[in-house]
Structure 1
Amino acid sequence: MLGVKNSKFYAMQYQGVLKKMLTENNDEIQYYLDMESDFINMNQLLTKTITIQFVKYQCLNCGLDKQIYRQGFCKSCFFETARAGDWIMRPELSKAHLGIEDRDLEYEKQSQLKPHIVYLANSSNVKVGVTRKSQVPTRWIDQGAHEAIEIVEVPNRYLAGITEVALKEHVADKTNWRKMLKNDVVDESLEDWKNKLKQYIPEEAKEYFIENNKETELKFPVIAYPEKPKSLNLIKTPNYSGKLVGIKGQYLIFEDQTVFNVRANEGLVVQISIQ
Protein backbone atom coordinates (compact mmCIF):
# COMPACT_ATOMS: atom_id res chain seq x y z
CA MET A 1 0.00 0.00 0.00
CA LEU A 2 1.35 3.37 -0.97
CA GLY A 3 1.19 6.07 1.65
CA VAL A 4 1.54 9.78 2.19
CA LYS A 5 4.59 10.62 4.24
CA ASN A 6 3.32 13.95 5.53
CA SER A 7 -0.27 14.11 6.67
CA LYS A 8 -0.20 17.94 6.66
CA PHE A 9 0.47 18.27 2.93
CA TYR A 10 -2.71 20.29 2.26
CA ALA A 11 -0.96 23.52 3.33
CA MET A 12 2.30 22.65 1.63
CA GLN A 13 3.95 23.05 -1.73
CA TYR A 14 5.53 20.22 -3.66
CA GLN A 15 7.94 20.21 -6.56
CA GLY A 16 8.96 17.34 -8.78
CA VAL A 17 9.05 15.95 -12.30
CA LEU A 18 5.72 14.65 -13.52
CA LYS A 19 5.37 10.93 -14.12
CA LYS A 20 2.15 9.06 -14.65
CA MET A 21 0.07 8.66 -11.52
CA LEU A 22 0.39 5.38 -9.65
CA THR A 23 -2.86 3.55 -8.99
CA GLU A 24 -4.47 0.94 -6.76
CA ASN A 25 -7.65 -0.82 -7.79
CA ASN A 26 -9.81 -0.81 -4.67
CA ASP A 27 -13.59 -0.39 -4.47
CA GLU A 28 -12.76 3.03 -5.88
CA ILE A 29 -9.45 3.50 -7.69
CA GLN A 30 -6.82 5.26 -5.61
CA TYR A 31 -4.40 7.66 -7.31
CA TYR A 32 -0.95 8.72 -6.13
CA LEU A 33 1.36 11.38 -7.54
CA ASP A 34 5.08 10.85 -6.90
CA MET A 35 6.60 14.22 -6.00
CA GLU A 36 10.02 12.73 -5.21
CA SER A 37 9.95 13.52 -1.49
CA ASP A 38 6.29 12.53 -1.02
CA PHE A 39 3.48 10.52 -2.51
CA ILE A 40 0.35 12.64 -2.73
CA ASN A 41 -2.91 10.69 -2.46
CA MET A 42 -4.87 12.59 -5.10
CA ASN A 43 -8.23 11.18 -3.98
CA GLN A 44 -7.84 13.14 -0.76
CA LEU A 45 -7.60 16.36 -2.78
CA LEU A 46 -11.09 16.12 -4.27
CA THR A 47 -12.94 19.45 -3.68
CA LYS A 48 -9.59 21.13 -2.89
CA THR A 49 -8.12 23.97 -4.96
CA ILE A 50 -4.88 22.91 -6.62
CA THR A 51 -2.33 25.21 -8.24
CA ILE A 52 -0.01 23.69 -10.85
CA GLN A 53 2.96 25.78 -11.98
CA PHE A 54 5.42 24.85 -14.72
CA VAL A 55 9.04 25.21 -13.56
CA LYS A 56 11.25 23.60 -16.23
CA TYR A 57 11.80 20.45 -18.27
CA GLN A 58 13.56 17.32 -17.03
CA CYS A 59 13.96 14.49 -19.54
CA LEU A 60 13.07 11.16 -17.94
CA ASN A 61 16.13 9.57 -19.54
CA CYS A 62 19.04 12.04 -19.43
CA GLY A 63 17.62 14.29 -16.70
CA LEU A 64 18.56 17.47 -18.56
CA ASP A 65 16.45 20.62 -18.86
CA LYS A 66 15.65 20.04 -22.54
CA GLN A 67 12.27 20.46 -24.21
CA ILE A 68 10.22 17.29 -24.00
CA TYR A 69 9.56 15.70 -27.37
CA ARG A 70 7.44 12.60 -26.62
CA GLN A 71 6.76 10.16 -23.78
CA GLY A 72 8.67 12.29 -21.26
CA PHE A 73 11.90 12.22 -23.30
CA CYS A 74 13.84 15.00 -25.02
CA LYS A 75 14.17 14.59 -28.79
CA SER A 76 17.64 13.01 -28.79
CA CYS A 77 16.73 10.52 -26.05
CA PHE A 78 13.43 9.64 -27.74
CA PHE A 79 15.34 8.44 -30.80
CA GLU A 80 18.10 6.75 -28.81
CA THR A 81 16.78 5.14 -25.62
CA ALA A 82 15.49 1.59 -25.69
CA ARG A 83 12.59 2.82 -23.57
CA ALA A 84 11.12 4.55 -26.63
CA GLY A 85 11.60 1.97 -29.38
CA ASP A 86 8.96 1.66 -32.10
CA TRP A 87 7.92 -1.73 -30.70
CA ILE A 88 6.48 -0.01 -27.62
CA MET A 89 3.72 1.71 -29.59
CA ARG A 90 3.63 -1.01 -32.27
CA PRO A 91 4.06 -4.37 -30.51
CA GLU A 92 3.97 -6.24 -33.80
CA LEU A 93 7.46 -4.82 -34.51
CA SER A 94 8.93 -6.70 -31.54
CA LYS A 95 11.93 -8.88 -32.50
CA ALA A 96 13.53 -9.93 -29.21
CA HIS A 97 11.98 -13.41 -29.60
CA LEU A 98 14.18 -13.75 -32.71
CA GLY A 99 17.27 -12.46 -30.90
CA ILE A 100 17.25 -9.33 -33.10
CA GLU A 101 18.20 -6.04 -31.46
CA ASP A 102 16.37 -2.78 -32.01
CA ARG A 103 18.29 -0.50 -29.61
CA ASP A 104 19.27 -2.66 -26.61
CA LEU A 105 18.62 -6.39 -26.91
CA GLU A 106 18.90 -7.16 -23.19
CA TYR A 107 16.35 -4.46 -22.31
CA GLU A 108 14.10 -5.60 -25.15
CA LYS A 109 14.28 -9.23 -23.99
CA GLN A 110 13.32 -8.18 -20.46
CA SER A 111 10.32 -6.23 -21.75
CA GLN A 112 9.17 -8.28 -24.72
CA LEU A 113 9.74 -11.86 -23.57
CA LYS A 114 7.15 -11.80 -20.81
CA PRO A 115 3.48 -12.80 -20.76
CA HIS A 116 1.34 -10.25 -22.59
CA ILE A 117 -2.40 -9.75 -22.67
CA VAL A 118 -4.56 -8.73 -25.60
CA TYR A 119 -7.71 -7.22 -24.15
CA LEU A 120 -10.93 -5.37 -24.86
CA ALA A 121 -11.63 -2.22 -22.86
CA ASN A 122 -14.62 0.11 -22.88
CA SER A 123 -13.81 3.71 -22.10
CA SER A 124 -15.35 5.81 -24.89
CA ASN A 125 -16.09 2.75 -27.00
CA VAL A 126 -14.95 -0.85 -27.19
CA LYS A 127 -11.29 -1.01 -28.19
CA VAL A 128 -8.58 -3.64 -28.44
CA GLY A 129 -5.21 -3.18 -26.78
CA VAL A 130 -2.01 -4.87 -25.61
CA THR A 131 -0.26 -4.79 -22.26
CA ARG A 132 2.17 -6.87 -20.22
CA LYS A 133 0.29 -9.22 -17.92
CA SER A 134 1.89 -7.49 -14.93
CA GLN A 135 0.18 -4.25 -16.01
CA VAL A 136 -3.37 -5.61 -15.62
CA PRO A 137 -5.50 -3.74 -14.52
CA THR A 138 -3.16 -0.70 -14.43
CA ARG A 139 -3.31 -0.28 -18.22
CA TRP A 140 -7.11 -0.28 -18.18
CA ILE A 141 -7.21 2.29 -15.39
CA ASP A 142 -4.80 4.55 -17.31
CA GLN A 143 -7.15 4.44 -20.30
CA GLY A 144 -10.20 5.36 -18.23
CA ALA A 145 -11.97 2.08 -18.99
CA HIS A 146 -14.98 1.28 -16.82
CA GLU A 147 -14.95 -2.34 -17.97
CA ALA A 148 -12.39 -4.64 -19.60
CA ILE A 149 -11.72 -8.29 -20.39
CA GLU A 150 -8.72 -10.37 -21.48
CA ILE A 151 -8.86 -12.14 -24.86
CA VAL A 152 -5.54 -13.98 -25.08
CA GLU A 153 -2.49 -14.40 -22.87
CA VAL A 154 0.62 -14.98 -24.99
CA PRO A 155 4.28 -15.56 -24.02
CA ASN A 156 5.75 -12.54 -25.81
CA ARG A 157 4.96 -9.08 -27.13
CA TYR A 158 5.21 -10.03 -30.80
CA LEU A 159 2.32 -12.51 -30.61
CA ALA A 160 0.25 -9.93 -28.77
CA GLY A 161 1.08 -7.35 -31.43
CA ILE A 162 0.06 -9.44 -34.42
CA THR A 163 -3.15 -10.40 -32.61
CA GLU A 164 -3.98 -6.74 -31.99
CA VAL A 165 -3.28 -5.90 -35.64
CA ALA A 166 -5.67 -8.65 -36.78
CA LEU A 167 -8.44 -7.68 -34.36
CA LYS A 168 -8.34 -3.94 -34.98
CA GLU A 169 -9.65 -4.66 -38.45
CA HIS A 170 -12.93 -5.44 -36.69
CA VAL A 171 -12.92 -3.23 -33.58
CA ALA A 172 -11.45 0.18 -32.66
CA ASP A 173 -7.93 0.54 -31.24
CA LYS A 174 -8.20 4.16 -30.05
CA THR A 175 -9.98 5.92 -27.18
CA ASN A 176 -11.90 9.17 -27.69
CA TRP A 177 -10.58 11.07 -24.67
CA ARG A 178 -13.39 13.63 -24.72
CA LYS A 179 -16.12 10.97 -24.61
CA MET A 180 -14.21 9.10 -21.92
CA LEU A 181 -13.97 12.19 -19.70
CA LYS A 182 -17.60 13.17 -20.28
CA ASN A 183 -18.50 9.61 -19.25
CA ASP A 184 -20.38 9.39 -22.54
CA VAL A 185 -20.14 5.62 -22.67
CA VAL A 186 -22.48 2.70 -23.21
CA ASP A 187 -22.15 -0.58 -21.33
CA GLU A 188 -21.31 -3.42 -23.67
CA SER A 189 -21.08 -7.17 -23.23
CA LEU A 190 -17.34 -7.58 -23.62
CA GLU A 191 -17.75 -11.33 -23.30
CA ASP A 192 -19.92 -11.27 -26.43
CA TRP A 193 -17.39 -9.07 -28.20
CA LYS A 194 -14.56 -11.42 -27.22
CA ASN A 195 -16.38 -14.45 -28.58
CA LYS A 196 -17.26 -12.63 -31.83
CA LEU A 197 -13.62 -11.67 -32.36
CA LYS A 198 -12.24 -15.13 -31.59
CA GLN A 199 -12.42 -16.17 -35.25
CA TYR A 200 -10.04 -13.37 -36.26
CA ILE A 201 -7.19 -14.32 -33.90
CA PRO A 202 -4.08 -15.32 -35.93
CA GLU A 203 -3.25 -19.02 -36.06
CA GLU A 204 -0.06 -18.52 -34.01
CA ALA A 205 -2.12 -17.15 -31.10
CA LYS A 206 -5.32 -19.22 -31.23
CA GLU A 207 -4.10 -21.67 -28.59
CA TYR A 208 -3.78 -18.82 -26.10
CA PHE A 209 -7.44 -17.77 -26.22
CA ILE A 210 -8.86 -17.37 -22.71
CA GLU A 211 -12.12 -19.25 -22.16
CA ASN A 212 -14.87 -18.44 -19.65
CA ASN A 213 -13.39 -15.31 -18.03
CA LYS A 214 -15.49 -12.40 -16.81
CA GLU A 215 -15.34 -8.64 -17.27
CA THR A 216 -13.45 -6.52 -14.77
CA GLU A 217 -15.35 -3.42 -13.66
CA LEU A 218 -13.53 -0.26 -12.56
CA LYS A 219 -14.83 2.69 -10.55
CA PHE A 220 -13.17 6.09 -10.79
CA PRO A 221 -13.17 8.83 -8.12
CA VAL A 222 -15.27 11.45 -9.92
CA ILE A 223 -17.67 13.91 -8.30
CA ALA A 224 -18.62 15.68 -11.54
CA TYR A 225 -17.84 14.94 -15.18
CA PRO A 226 -17.09 17.84 -17.56
CA GLU A 227 -19.67 18.60 -20.24
CA LYS A 228 -17.13 20.33 -22.48
CA PRO A 229 -13.64 19.25 -21.37
CA LYS A 230 -10.83 21.62 -22.29
CA SER A 231 -7.27 20.38 -22.04
CA LEU A 232 -4.73 22.33 -19.99
CA ASN A 233 -1.49 23.07 -21.89
CA LEU A 234 0.95 23.83 -19.12
CA ILE A 235 3.50 25.36 -21.52
CA LYS A 236 1.00 27.89 -22.86
CA THR A 237 -0.62 28.37 -19.43
CA PRO A 238 2.27 27.86 -16.99
CA ASN A 239 0.24 28.68 -13.88
CA TYR A 240 -3.21 27.16 -13.35
CA SER A 241 -5.51 26.92 -10.32
CA GLY A 242 -8.74 24.98 -10.07
CA LYS A 243 -10.95 22.90 -7.81
CA LEU A 244 -10.38 19.17 -8.32
CA VAL A 245 -13.66 17.30 -8.89
CA GLY A 246 -12.50 14.02 -10.39
CA ILE A 247 -9.76 11.72 -11.62
CA LYS A 248 -10.21 9.35 -14.55
CA GLY A 249 -7.62 7.62 -16.65
CA GLN A 250 -4.54 9.76 -16.17
CA TYR A 251 -6.60 12.97 -16.18
CA LEU A 252 -7.28 15.41 -13.37
CA ILE A 253 -10.76 16.93 -13.80
CA PHE A 254 -11.44 20.43 -12.52
CA GLU A 255 -14.69 22.25 -11.73
CA ASP A 256 -14.23 24.79 -14.56
CA GLN A 257 -14.21 21.96 -17.18
CA THR A 258 -10.40 22.03 -17.44
CA VAL A 259 -8.73 18.62 -17.62
CA PHE A 260 -5.03 17.87 -17.20
CA ASN A 261 -3.42 14.76 -18.64
CA VAL A 262 -0.63 13.91 -16.22
CA ARG A 263 0.89 11.22 -18.41
CA ALA A 264 0.99 13.49 -21.48
CA ASN A 265 3.02 15.96 -19.41
CA GLU A 266 5.66 13.54 -18.15
CA GLY A 267 9.07 15.20 -18.01
CA LEU A 268 7.76 18.58 -16.88
CA VAL A 269 8.95 19.79 -13.51
CA VAL A 270 6.02 21.40 -11.68
CA GLN A 271 5.28 23.02 -8.37
CA ILE A 272 2.00 21.96 -6.82
CA SER A 273 0.27 23.72 -3.96
CA ILE A 274 -2.98 22.72 -2.27
CA GLN A 275 -5.45 24.98 -0.52
Structure 2
Amino acid sequence: MQYQGVLKKMQTSYDSPIQYYLVFENDFIHVNQLINKKIGIAFVKYQCLACGENKKIYRQGYCYDDFFNQPQAGDWIMNPELSKAHLDIEDRDLAYEKRVQLQPHVVYLANSSNVKVGVTRKSQVPTRWIDQGAHEAIEIAELPNRYLAGITEVALKDHVADKTNWRTMLKNEIKDEDLVEWRNKLKQFLPAEAQEYYIENNTETAIDFPVERYPEKLKSLNLDKTPEFEGTLKGVKGQYLIFEDDTVFNVRNWEGYVVAITVNS
Protein backbone atom coordinates (compact mmCIF):
# COMPACT_ATOMS: atom_id res chain seq x y z
CA MET A 1 0.00 0.00 0.00
CA GLN A 2 1.33 3.46 -0.88
CA TYR A 3 0.46 6.94 0.35
CA GLN A 4 1.73 10.28 -0.90
CA GLY A 5 1.48 13.75 0.55
CA VAL A 6 3.26 16.74 2.02
CA LEU A 7 4.71 16.18 5.46
CA LYS A 8 3.35 18.17 8.38
CA LYS A 9 3.77 17.44 12.03
CA MET A 10 1.88 14.35 13.10
CA GLN A 11 -1.50 14.90 14.69
CA THR A 12 -2.05 13.17 18.01
CA SER A 13 -4.75 12.15 20.43
CA TYR A 14 -4.13 11.75 24.15
CA ASP A 15 -4.61 8.09 24.99
CA SER A 16 -2.54 5.32 26.51
CA PRO A 17 -0.49 5.02 24.45
CA ILE A 18 -0.62 8.24 22.42
CA GLN A 19 -2.26 7.79 19.01
CA TYR A 20 -0.41 9.27 16.02
CA TYR A 21 -1.72 10.26 12.58
CA LEU A 22 0.03 11.44 9.43
CA VAL A 23 -2.58 13.55 7.66
CA PHE A 24 -2.34 14.25 3.93
CA GLU A 25 -4.63 16.25 1.66
CA ASN A 26 -6.81 13.31 0.64
CA ASP A 27 -5.77 10.56 3.02
CA PHE A 28 -4.27 9.80 6.42
CA ILE A 29 -2.16 7.12 8.10
CA HIS A 30 -2.80 5.84 11.62
CA VAL A 31 0.87 5.49 12.44
CA ASN A 32 0.39 3.21 15.47
CA GLN A 33 -0.88 0.53 13.08
CA LEU A 34 2.46 0.56 11.24
CA ILE A 35 4.53 -0.52 14.25
CA ASN A 36 6.43 -3.74 13.45
CA LYS A 37 5.79 -3.25 9.74
CA LYS A 38 8.39 -2.43 7.10
CA ILE A 39 7.81 0.99 5.60
CA GLY A 40 9.54 2.95 2.87
CA ILE A 41 9.91 6.74 2.75
CA ALA A 42 10.87 8.38 -0.55
CA PHE A 43 11.27 12.08 -1.28
CA VAL A 44 9.14 13.26 -4.23
CA LYS A 45 9.35 17.06 -4.31
CA TYR A 46 8.97 20.18 -2.21
CA GLN A 47 5.67 21.90 -1.43
CA CYS A 48 5.97 25.11 0.58
CA LEU A 49 3.27 25.19 3.27
CA ALA A 50 2.46 28.80 2.36
CA CYS A 51 2.68 29.22 -1.42
CA GLY A 52 2.36 25.53 -2.33
CA GLU A 53 5.16 25.84 -4.90
CA ASN A 54 7.86 23.24 -5.55
CA LYS A 55 10.54 25.49 -4.05
CA LYS A 56 13.31 24.29 -1.76
CA ILE A 57 12.23 24.38 1.86
CA TYR A 58 14.20 26.84 3.96
CA ARG A 59 12.79 26.41 7.48
CA GLN A 60 9.60 25.28 9.25
CA GLY A 61 8.03 24.01 6.03
CA TYR A 62 8.39 27.34 4.19
CA CYS A 63 10.45 28.39 1.19
CA TYR A 64 12.97 31.20 1.75
CA ASP A 65 10.63 34.05 0.77
CA ASP A 66 7.68 32.82 2.80
CA PHE A 67 9.78 32.12 5.89
CA PHE A 68 10.56 35.83 6.08
CA ASN A 69 7.01 36.95 5.25
CA GLN A 70 4.54 34.59 6.89
CA PRO A 71 3.26 35.62 10.35
CA GLN A 72 3.45 31.95 11.41
CA ALA A 73 7.26 32.23 11.20
CA GLY A 74 7.68 35.50 13.09
CA ASP A 75 10.38 35.76 15.77
CA TRP A 76 7.74 35.82 18.50
CA ILE A 77 6.84 32.20 17.70
CA MET A 78 10.16 30.93 19.08
CA ASN A 79 10.61 33.86 21.48
CA PRO A 80 7.21 34.61 23.06
CA GLU A 81 8.63 37.52 25.04
CA LEU A 82 8.90 39.42 21.73
CA SER A 83 5.10 39.41 21.32
CA LYS A 84 3.63 42.89 20.81
CA ALA A 85 0.00 42.35 19.81
CA HIS A 86 -1.11 43.40 23.31
CA LEU A 87 0.41 46.81 22.48
CA ASP A 88 -1.42 46.91 19.14
CA ILE A 89 1.96 46.75 17.37
CA GLU A 90 2.21 44.71 14.17
CA ASP A 91 5.08 42.40 13.33
CA ARG A 92 3.86 40.88 10.03
CA ASP A 93 0.08 40.56 10.30
CA LEU A 94 -1.57 42.20 13.31
CA ALA A 95 -4.92 40.42 12.89
CA TYR A 96 -3.21 37.01 12.96
CA GLU A 97 -0.88 38.04 15.78
CA LYS A 98 -3.79 39.23 17.92
CA ARG A 99 -5.69 36.02 17.26
CA VAL A 100 -2.76 33.86 18.41
CA GLN A 101 -1.06 36.04 21.02
CA LEU A 102 -4.11 37.41 22.83
CA GLN A 103 -5.43 34.12 24.15
CA PRO A 104 -4.64 32.13 27.29
CA HIS A 105 -1.11 30.72 27.39
CA VAL A 106 0.43 28.24 29.79
CA VAL A 107 3.94 28.20 31.23
CA TYR A 108 4.77 24.59 32.04
CA LEU A 109 7.41 22.13 33.15
CA ALA A 110 7.96 19.05 30.98
CA ASN A 111 10.29 16.11 31.59
CA SER A 112 11.49 14.50 28.39
CA SER A 113 15.25 14.29 28.91
CA ASN A 114 15.38 16.60 31.91
CA VAL A 115 13.01 19.09 33.51
CA LYS A 116 12.53 22.08 31.20
CA VAL A 117 10.32 25.14 31.13
CA GLY A 118 8.21 26.04 28.12
CA VAL A 119 5.30 28.09 26.79
CA THR A 120 2.29 27.06 24.77
CA ARG A 121 -1.25 28.16 24.09
CA LYS A 122 -3.67 26.65 26.58
CA SER A 123 -5.49 25.03 23.66
CA GLN A 124 -2.28 23.11 22.85
CA VAL A 125 -2.16 21.24 26.16
CA PRO A 126 -1.23 18.35 26.18
CA THR A 127 -0.35 18.33 22.45
CA ARG A 128 2.77 20.43 22.99
CA TRP A 129 4.06 18.03 25.64
CA ILE A 130 3.43 15.03 23.40
CA ASP A 131 5.32 16.70 20.53
CA GLN A 132 8.31 17.20 22.82
CA GLY A 133 8.38 13.58 23.90
CA ALA A 134 7.71 14.42 27.55
CA HIS A 135 6.66 11.47 29.73
CA GLU A 136 5.35 13.85 32.41
CA ALA A 137 4.41 17.54 32.54
CA ILE A 138 2.66 20.12 34.70
CA GLU A 139 1.40 23.69 34.31
CA ILE A 140 3.01 26.41 36.45
CA ALA A 141 0.91 29.41 35.42
CA GLU A 142 -1.92 30.29 33.07
CA LEU A 143 -1.54 33.78 31.65
CA PRO A 144 -3.89 35.89 29.50
CA ASN A 145 -1.50 36.49 26.60
CA ARG A 146 1.70 35.27 24.97
CA TYR A 147 3.83 38.21 26.09
CA LEU A 148 3.24 37.59 29.81
CA ALA A 149 3.90 33.89 29.31
CA GLY A 150 7.10 34.75 27.46
CA ILE A 151 8.57 37.00 30.13
CA THR A 152 7.65 34.38 32.73
CA GLU A 153 9.54 31.72 30.79
CA VAL A 154 12.57 34.02 30.46
CA ALA A 155 12.59 34.61 34.23
CA LEU A 156 12.49 30.88 34.96
CA LYS A 157 15.24 30.01 32.45
CA ASP A 158 17.80 31.16 35.01
CA HIS A 159 16.67 28.37 37.34
CA VAL A 160 15.64 25.48 35.08
CA ALA A 161 16.58 24.27 31.58
CA ASP A 162 14.65 25.41 28.50
CA LYS A 163 15.95 22.81 26.04
CA THR A 164 15.38 19.09 25.53
CA ASN A 165 18.24 16.71 24.78
CA TRP A 166 16.56 14.86 21.93
CA ARG A 167 19.06 12.01 22.01
CA THR A 168 18.39 11.30 25.67
CA MET A 169 14.66 11.58 25.07
CA LEU A 170 14.73 9.06 22.21
CA LYS A 171 16.95 6.59 24.08
CA ASN A 172 14.46 6.85 26.97
CA GLU A 173 17.31 7.58 29.37
CA ILE A 174 14.95 9.38 31.69
CA LYS A 175 14.07 9.50 35.36
CA ASP A 176 10.87 10.53 37.03
CA GLU A 177 10.83 13.90 38.75
CA ASP A 178 8.45 15.39 41.30
CA LEU A 179 7.12 18.19 39.12
CA VAL A 180 4.83 19.50 41.87
CA GLU A 181 7.93 20.06 43.98
CA TRP A 182 9.65 21.74 41.02
CA ARG A 183 6.61 23.95 40.45
CA ASN A 184 6.50 25.04 44.09
CA LYS A 185 10.25 25.71 44.13
CA LEU A 186 10.05 27.93 41.05
CA LYS A 187 7.09 30.03 42.25
CA GLN A 188 9.38 32.55 43.92
CA PHE A 189 11.05 33.33 40.59
CA LEU A 190 7.90 34.30 38.71
CA PRO A 191 7.87 37.97 37.62
CA ALA A 192 5.64 40.24 39.67
CA GLU A 193 3.23 40.56 36.73
CA ALA A 194 2.76 36.79 36.67
CA GLN A 195 2.39 35.98 40.36
CA GLU A 196 -1.40 36.19 40.34
CA TYR A 197 -1.56 33.59 37.57
CA TYR A 198 0.38 30.90 39.43
CA ILE A 199 -1.46 27.57 39.59
CA GLU A 200 -1.43 26.42 43.20
CA ASN A 201 -3.10 23.03 43.06
CA ASN A 202 -2.66 20.70 40.10
CA THR A 203 -1.08 17.36 39.35
CA GLU A 204 1.28 15.94 36.76
CA THR A 205 0.05 14.67 33.41
CA ALA A 206 1.60 11.30 32.51
CA ILE A 207 2.22 10.44 28.84
CA ASP A 208 2.75 6.95 27.44
CA PHE A 209 4.30 6.58 23.99
CA PRO A 210 3.84 3.67 21.56
CA VAL A 211 7.41 2.36 21.49
CA GLU A 212 8.36 -1.32 21.45
CA ARG A 213 12.09 -0.77 21.23
CA TYR A 214 14.14 2.33 21.95
CA PRO A 215 17.27 3.03 19.86
CA GLU A 216 20.76 2.60 21.27
CA LYS A 217 22.93 4.37 18.66
CA LEU A 218 20.91 7.07 16.96
CA LYS A 219 21.09 7.72 13.23
CA SER A 220 18.98 10.62 11.95
CA LEU A 221 17.32 10.20 8.57
CA ASN A 222 18.12 13.22 6.39
CA LEU A 223 15.95 13.32 3.26
CA ASP A 224 18.38 15.70 1.53
CA LYS A 225 21.19 13.15 1.85
CA THR A 226 19.10 9.96 1.81
CA PRO A 227 16.01 10.55 -0.35
CA GLU A 228 14.92 6.90 -0.06
CA PHE A 229 14.79 4.80 3.11
CA GLU A 230 13.23 1.54 4.20
CA GLY A 231 13.02 0.08 7.68
CA THR A 232 10.84 -1.62 10.27
CA LEU A 233 9.02 0.83 12.52
CA LYS A 234 9.41 0.08 16.23
CA GLY A 235 7.76 3.11 17.79
CA VAL A 236 6.87 6.79 17.83
CA LYS A 237 7.90 9.37 20.40
CA GLY A 238 7.58 13.12 20.21
CA GLN A 239 7.50 13.77 16.47
CA TYR A 240 10.02 11.00 15.77
CA LEU A 241 9.54 7.69 13.98
CA ILE A 242 11.89 5.09 15.51
CA PHE A 243 13.15 2.22 13.34
CA GLU A 244 14.64 -1.17 14.16
CA ASP A 245 18.11 -0.25 12.86
CA ASP A 246 18.25 2.76 15.25
CA THR A 247 17.37 5.24 12.49
CA VAL A 248 15.09 8.02 13.72
CA PHE A 249 13.06 10.37 11.54
CA ASN A 250 11.85 13.72 12.88
CA VAL A 251 8.67 14.31 10.87
CA ARG A 252 8.41 17.94 11.91
CA ASN A 253 11.91 18.72 10.65
CA TRP A 254 10.79 17.77 7.14
CA GLU A 255 7.54 19.69 6.87
CA GLY A 256 7.01 20.88 3.32
CA TYR A 257 8.59 17.77 1.79
CA VAL A 258 6.28 15.64 -0.33
CA VAL A 259 7.00 11.96 0.29
CA ALA A 260 5.72 8.60 -0.90
CA ILE A 261 5.23 6.17 1.99
CA THR A 262 5.05 2.47 1.19
CA VAL A 263 3.71 0.02 3.77
CA ASN A 264 4.64 -3.67 3.71
CA SER A 265 3.51 -6.32 6.17
Q: Same fold (TM over 0.5)?
A: yes
Tell me which residue corresponds to 2:157. Answer: 168
Query: Could you tell me how far 1:229 is from its partner in structure 2?
Result: 1.2
The structure 1 residue matched to 2:82, chosen from 84, 93, 97, is: 93
Tell me which residue corresponds to 2:115. Answer: 126
- Deviations for 1:90-132, whole angstroms, at most 9, x for unmatched residues? 0000000000000000000000000000000000000000000
**1:244 has 2:201 as partner:** no
The structure 2 residue matched to 1:108, chosen from 74, 77, 97, is: 97
Query: Could you tell me how far 1:235 is from its partner in structure 2?
Result: 1.1
Query: Could you tell me how far 1:212 is from its partner in structure 2?
Result: 1.1
Alignment partner of 1:77: what SS? Answer: helix
Aligned residues: 264
Which blocks of at least 5 consecutive residues in structure 1 are unaligned? 1-11
Tell me which residue corresponds to 1:29. Answer: 18
Query: Could you tell me how far 1:37 is from its partner in structure 2?
Result: 1.6
- Deviations for 1:141-182, whole angstroms, at most 9, x for unmatched residues? 000000000000000000000000000111000000000000
The structure 2 residue matched to 1:220, chosen from 185, 209, 212, is: 209
Which blocks of at least 5 consecutive residues in structure 2 are unaligned? none
The structure 1 residue matched to 2:178, chosen from 182, 189, 209, is: 189
CA distance in 2, matches of 1:141, 1:128: 14
CA distance in 2, matches of 1:151, 1:120: 7
Tell me which residue corresponds to 1:19. Answer: 8
- Deviations for 1:14-37, whole angstroms, at most 9, x for unmatched residues? 110000000001121000001222
Q: Tell me which stretches of 4 or more aligned residues in structure 1 moved more than 6 Å.
A: none
Tell me which residue corresponds to 2:27. Answer: 38
Alignment partner of 2:242: what SS? Answer: strand
Tell me which residue corresponds to 1:57. Answer: 46
Matched residue type, 2:40: T
CA distance in 2, matches of 1:124, 1:184: 7
Alignment partner of 1:179: what SS? Answer: helix
CA distance in 2, matches of 1:195, 1:188: 13
Alignment partner of 1:27: what SS? Answer: coil
CA distance in 2, matches of 1:14, 1:146: 30
* Contact 2:16/2:209 (8 A) holds in 1: no
Tell me which residue corresponds to 1:141. Answer: 130
CA distance in 2, matches of 1:127, 1:174: 6
The structure 1 residue matched to 2:251, chosen from 236, 252, 262, is: 262
Alignment partner of 1:124: what SS? Answer: coil
Structure 1 vs Structure 2: percent identity of aligned residues?
72
Matched residue type, 1:71: Q
Query: Could you tell me how far 1:228 is from its partner in structure 2?
Result: 1.1
Alignment partner of 1:206: what SS? Answer: helix
CA distance in 2, matches of 1:57, 1:114: 33
Tell me which residue corresponds to 1:48. Answer: 37
Tell me which residue corresponds to 1:9. Answer: none
CA distance in 2, matches of 1:204, 1:228: 45
CA distance in 2, matches of 1:107, 1:204: 25
- Deviations for 1:47-99, whole angstroms, at most 9, x for unmatched residues? 00010000111110111111111111111100011110000000000000000
CA distance in 1, matches of 2:162, 2:56: 29
Alignment partner of 1:83: what SS? Answer: helix
Tell me which residue corresponds to 1:4. Answer: none
Alignment partner of 1:191: what SS? Answer: helix
Matched residue type, 1:45: L
Taking only aligned residues, the RMSD between alpha carbons, in angstroms, comes to: 0.5
